Amino acid sequence: MYKLWIGLWIVALINVSTVLADYKSMAEGHTLFQQCTGCHGQTGEQQALGKSLVINQMTQEQIVMSIEGYLDGTYGRSMKALMKGQVASLTPVQIEMIAEYVASLNDNKLKSLAVPTTSQCELPPVSKAQKYLPDSMKMKVKIKRYANALTKVKAMIVHDSMTVKEAEKRGVKQFYLTKMIFKEDKETVLELKCTPYLSRNNLVKFKYKSHGSDKLSFQAYNNHGKHAEKSVVIRDSPYTKTLGALDLNTKNKVMTSSNNKAIRAYFEGITLISSNKIQLTGPEVASGGGWVPISVRSTIKAKSVTLFANEEDSKPQMVVQWILHKQTLVDFSIKIKLVDYTSYEGSTVSAVVEGVDGKFYVTNIKVVVGLSGVEG
């Protein structure tokens, strides 16, 4: 009996020591993280300089990998040089402490350890559901019309975009854009059919031939029935700008895609024609799965252009569809998500152009993603 009690005391002491060690690690992680709050926010809830991801949505492993990548120069884009200087003095143990602390900011672990946090100003508590509720959609549109009526549009809408799995992980309702519409006066120029596989806070670029009106309106709708609208004056430029010729020297590889079955099902059994008249571009290796830039250009006169991609569980998904009206050109840029980042072979992205001749043309590219949802 005496030995049993001794054994129980030893187990209890080990458990207490473990809890105290966890508490100390989290407390030190909290202290180390204070040097980061100026850009990332007190709870890691901000995009640093408007460029990084929200780091409290990342896993501990993703945070460690990104910091180590900054240190050895293998990770990051425009933030690489800045971040390398910020993390240069951290030891491997300190990196683990920061990563553990930041990753815990959106779960119950921090509460159970009661690590103190301070804020720069007193604000009423905001629940996760409220935090991610896009009651208002911030919209910004830049438009310029050249002397030959070619009109370039850049439109950004600040709005979240979550797949079902992402919403479940955050413990919030799923939000994503379902539709965007661009009109010159009352005449529709372009429509976009959107899905949760578009990146959040997306920048949409396209070109069209203006019919001479003074304003362009931009309407956006989400899956909860909310919508927003913005009208902008079309700025005229005295210069002439033409659409550059399609660079046929950089043809996409004509290859059979695993997306073809999903594409045929989406369009109800159509015949797909592989075509090098479509120029589909994206990074060969993307640093993050949440923000993958994709561009589509084509000389085919089209009714619509649709992107498909290998997504969660390697199941091909329709990502976005552009529905063209009159003088809209097939010259689009957008950012998408590629969740299936663990595949060595990468994800297949397919662009399908529905021609005015009733035929469907397709081309494919491969994109390998290094780390899902992380961008430097």
Domains in the chain, start-ordered, CATH in brackets? 2-123 (1.10.760), 136-238 (2.60.40.10), 243-376 (2.60.40.2470)
Distances (CA, A) of 60 to 64, 95, 112, 291: 6, 10, 18, 20
- Which tens digits make up the pLDDT trace of 241-254? 765 555 545 455 55
Give the chain's end-to-end CA distance (angstroms, integer): 59
Q: How confident is the model over 258-267, as a mean pLDDT? A: 82
**Residue 288 identity (one-letter amino acid):** G
Q: pLDDT: is 324 or 240 the higher one?
A: 324
- Let me know the angle formed at the C-alpha of 132 by 121 and 161, rounded to the nearest 5 degrees: 135
Backbone angles phi, psi at 143, to 5 degrees: -145, 140
How many beta carbons lie within 10 A of that of residue 177, not counting itself? 25
Write the burial class of residue 18 (CB in 10 Å: 0-12 exposed, 13-18 middle, 19+ buried): exposed
Q: State the average pLDDT for the chain.
A: 77
pLDDT of 204 above 50? yes
Is the pLDDT reported for residue 151 higher than 70?
yes
Q: What is the pLDDT of residue 225?
A: 87
- Burial call 309-326: b when 16+ CB within 10 Å, e when fewer: bbbeeeebbbbbbbbbbe
Contacts 24+ apart (CB under 8 A), 76-85: 76/287, 76/376, 77/287, 77/375, 77/376, 78/51, 78/376, 79/48, 79/49, 79/51, 79/52, 79/376, 80/376, 83/376
CA dist., res. 87 & res. 71, Å (int):
7
What distance in Å separates the CA atoms of residue 375 and residue 41, rounded to the nearest whole number? 17
- Angle at alpha carbon of residue 299, lines to 245 and 355, rounded to 5°: 175
Q: Which residues on neighbouring strands pair with residue 91, listed in sequence order?
A: none
For the entire predicted model, the pTM comes to 0.63
The two structure tokens encoding residue 339: 């969740």
Q: What share of the chain is helix, strand, coil (3-state, %, to 5)?
A: 30, 30, 40
Backbone phi and psi for residue 107, each to the nearest 5 degrees, phi listed first: -135, -170
Given a cut of 50, is residue 108 above it in pLDDT? no
User: Which of the given ranges, 69-73, 90-94, 280-284, 352-356, has the highest pLDDT on average?
Assistant: 352-356
Per-residue confidence (pLDDT) for residue 257, from 0 to 100: 64
| pLDDT in the model for residue 110 | 37
- Amino acid at site 17: S
Give yes or no for residue 271 having a pLDDT over 50.
yes
The model's pLDDT over 21-66, given as tens digits with 9 standing for 90+, comes to 444 567 787 788 777 877 787 787 777 766 677 788 777 777 877 7
Q: Is the Cβ–Cβ distance between 171 and 128 less than 8 Å?
A: yes
CA 301 to CA 330: how far, in whole Å? 8
| % of the chain exceeding 70 in pLDDT | 73
What does the alpha-carbon distance between residue 43 and residue 126 come to, in Å, rounded to a whole number?
Answer: 13
Answer with the residue of higher pLDDT: 97 or 180: 180
| Pairwise CA distance, residues 349 & 289, whole Å | 13
112/90 Cα distance (integer angstroms): 27
Give the integer Cα–Cα distance in Å for 154 and 144. 9
Of 70-74, 158-162, 225-229, the poorest mean pLDDT is in 70-74
Lowest mean pLDDT among 263-272, 284-293, 325-334: 284-293
What is the predicted pLDDT for the residue at 237?
87
pLDDT in tens, 77-96: 666 777 777 778 888 888 88
Q: Is the pLDDT of residue 294 over 60?
A: yes
Predicted confidence (pLDDT) per residue in 314-331, tens digit: 677 899 999 998 789 999
